[in-house]
Structure 1
Amino acid sequence: MIKEKSIEGLSSFGVVDEASTPILYHYCSVDTFLAIIQNKCLRLSDINTMNDFHEMHWAYNKFIAAANADLANYDRKFLDEIDTVLSGLQLSSLPLIGCFSRDGDVLSQWRAYADDGAGVALGLDTSLLGRLAVRFGQVVYDETEQLEYFRKFLSFAQAIWKATDSKPELRGEFKEFLFILAFDSCLMKNPAFSEEKEVRLIRATIVEMLKDGRWSLRDSEGSSEDTRSNEKQQIRYRARKGGIVAYIDLPLDGLGPRLVKEVVLGPRSLNNGIEVSMALASQGFEGFEVRHSTATYR
């Protein structure tokens, strides 16, 4: 699995600035908080079950808009092949994602993701999360930036595509290039969600149709500094609002005892902070702080 790969002129897209964002926050219930610190795993779930029902379609529509804006510059066969490969990727790969925010005290986040304010915002070390075997990126909400990404991408991709005529060995690189596009598309969202200041961990899983007509989903090995998250993980399923959601529990235990930097208690939390501190210490975490939300919500 590709963790991250620079694209000429596009390498800064979705990059998380660790200097300005040293902590990333995962809003969750107290039950989920305890599951994360006790199991030392973070759950990554099917992107199609996120709160934005337009996930991926938003990015695809921006891709079409970018292609139409410069239609005269592109060979029709090139655009058709791009569309065919991208459609195939959607059938052969399923992104599983974990969601974080750059802000640990936002009322709408408390209400939507942290048990209506009774939960916590678990603040993890950004630099350590970046070691995991995932695509690690900041969501881009600006539509102009999204369009510019695709315009640059198409220009560069066509250059590779044309070169494959004389260098067939570049076909693999061309498809790899499109695979990166599929990852980056997961980092584009409707600007209506911009208040969330979201950062995502994205793991690609492989969709297969077996010989007897059954469908299968499996994880792939990673390539990163963290050997534990490189390992193939078991795909599990859970029920959500009558549907079935695929997920993996990605190991965090290779990131060390200082992964947790801060825990923010929700505005309706029943905890005074001592219990949270004891729970973290019992699991070997150290060097963290606990504070209360400033939101006056009940």
Structure 2
Amino acid sequence: MTKPNKNIQSEPTLFHYCSTETFLNIIANKTLRLSDISKSNDYKETKWIFEYIEDEIIKQFEAAPFFRGEYIRGLSEIETIKLVVRNIMEKMKNRSEELMYVSCFSEDDDKLSQWRGYADDGCGLVIGFNYHSLNTLISKCEELNLMQVLYPEDIATASQEIKDYSERVLDSIHRALTNDKLETLLNNEYGVIDIFHELSSRNFIRKSISFKNPAFKEENEWRIVFDGEFSKSTDWDYWYDPKEGRPRLYGEYSELFPKGLQFRTQKNKIVSFFDLSFKGFEESIIDSITIGPKSEIQESDLDQLLGYYGYDITEIKINKSTSTYR
């Protein structure tokens, strides 16, 4: 993933909806939580792109079919290809063991659906984070990225990379069928769908984090993403010193993630997360705070809280939601 363009003309304030408890933790601890994206409310996170790849492979086969008649009794040519492709895509998804951690924002600071979904049903708050300060913060680590989420109806028509990748997969299928290796193709044994596809599938999963189901389009989402070898290490001796009772971190990781990898419960799940520290940015990182439509917090409460923890309250605009929701 590439870093965002530092010369971007429009630098939006990015809004983080949260409960009052989360708001207090963010302000007091000066951290933003990056959670395992696989535990998000969209169960197809990081998997959407494979559906577009599957559609593109079928489209390419329909444009230039390379066999006629039955390969599998009772199935037409297109039904056979669909079965094979679906099997390959599922195996590629399952092979990937990538972990990615995200913190989510919106371009909108007062949207009722987001109050309901992400801010304790309107009882919470919205923190408006300064784009430039966030970008400066994450630039300290190559594994952190700030990106805008896309909600394309059909990314396959717009992505040459997807077309090229689909062509390679389809070529592998063609070769396997030509060599009478349908069974091994369905089992996805090594040598039929070669290592290129496994590596590429992981690459596409990384990229797919910037694509989301169009049903979520109204969220106008941006993300801080922690995606790299460090974040995915499962060598726990590397991560944590049980004798000392503290994480083993160094360099920018120690500065940005002082508590290392942590865990919390979420209903019936255990979710891993990192707390990204923004200490040193207190005077510039928050542009605004919007109080939820059902919140009883007063502006004077926020003035006291922000001043106590070292924020420049003269530079933070405090608003009350205009949503008539109760």
TM-score over 0.5 for the pair? yes
Q: Deviations over 1:200-259 (max 9, x none)?
A: 11112215488xxxxxxxx999999x9933x68611111111111111111111434210
- 2:296 is aligned to 270
Q: Deviations over 1:127-171 (max 9, x none)?
A: 221231312111111222x22454335538989xxxxxxxxxxxx
Say which of 249, 254, 260 aligns to 2:275. 249
Q: Deviations over 1:234-288 (max 9, x none)?
A: 1111111111111111111143421000001111110121211221122111111
- Kindly tell me the number of residue pairs found equivalent between the two proteins: 262
The residue type equivalent to 1:138 in the other structure is Q
Q: How far 1:64 moved relative to its partner?
A: 2.3
Tell me: CA distance 1:58–1:228, structure 2 relative to 1, closer, same or farther (3 Å): same
- 1:240 is aligned to 266
The residue type equivalent to 2:56 in the other structure is A
Structure 2 matches for 1:146-225, cutoff 5 A?
146-148=155-157, 150-155=159-164, 181-204=204-227, 205-208=231-234
Q: How far 1:175 moved relative to its partner?
A: 9.4
- 1:22 is aligned to 12
- 2:76 is aligned to none
Say which of 13, 32, 39 aligns to 2:22. 32
- C-alpha contact 1:105 1:293 (8 A) present in aligned 2: yes
The residue type equivalent to 2:113 in the other structure is S
- C-alpha contact 2:263 2:270 (8 A) present in aligned 1: yes
State the distance in 2 between where 1:246 and 1:239 align. 9
Q: How far 1:95 moved relative to its partner?
A: 0.6
User: Are 1:90 and 2:99 counterparts?
Assistant: no
- C-alpha contact 1:22 1:125 (8 A) present in aligned 2: yes
- C-alpha contact 1:128 1:255 (8 A) present in aligned 2: yes
Identity of aligned residues (%): 30
- C-alpha contact 2:103 2:225 (8 A) present in aligned 1: yes
- C-alpha contact 1:28 1:114 (8 A) present in aligned 2: yes
Runs of 4+ in 1 over 6 A off after TM superposition: 82-85, 156-159, 174-178, 219-224
Which ranges in structure 2 are unaligned for 5 or more consecutive residues?
65-84, 169-196, 237-246
Tell me: CA distance 1:143–1:278, structure 2 relative to 1, closer, same or farther (3 Å): same
What's the C-alpha RMSD, in Å, of the aligned pairs? 4.0
State the distance in 2 between where 1:283 and 1:191 align. 39
- 1:228 is aligned to 255
- C-alpha contact 2:293 2:320 (8 A) present in aligned 1: yes
Tell me: CA distance 1:232–1:263, structure 2 relative to 1, closer, same or farther (3 Å): closer
State the distance in 1 between where 2:94 and 2:213 align. 24
- 1:136 is aligned to 146
Which ranges in structure 1 are unaligned for 5 or more consecutive residues?
7-11, 74-78, 160-173, 211-218
State the distance in 2 between where 1:194 and 1:58 align. 14
- 2:79 is aligned to none
Taking structure 1 as the reference length, the TM-score comes to 0.73
Secondary structure of 2:100's partner?
strand
Tell me: CA distance 1:285–1:206, structure 2 relative to 1, closer, same or farther (3 Å): same
User: Are 1:122 and 2:127 counterparts?
Assistant: yes
Secondary structure of 1:110's partner?
helix
- C-alpha contact 2:11 2:132 (8 A) present in aligned 1: no
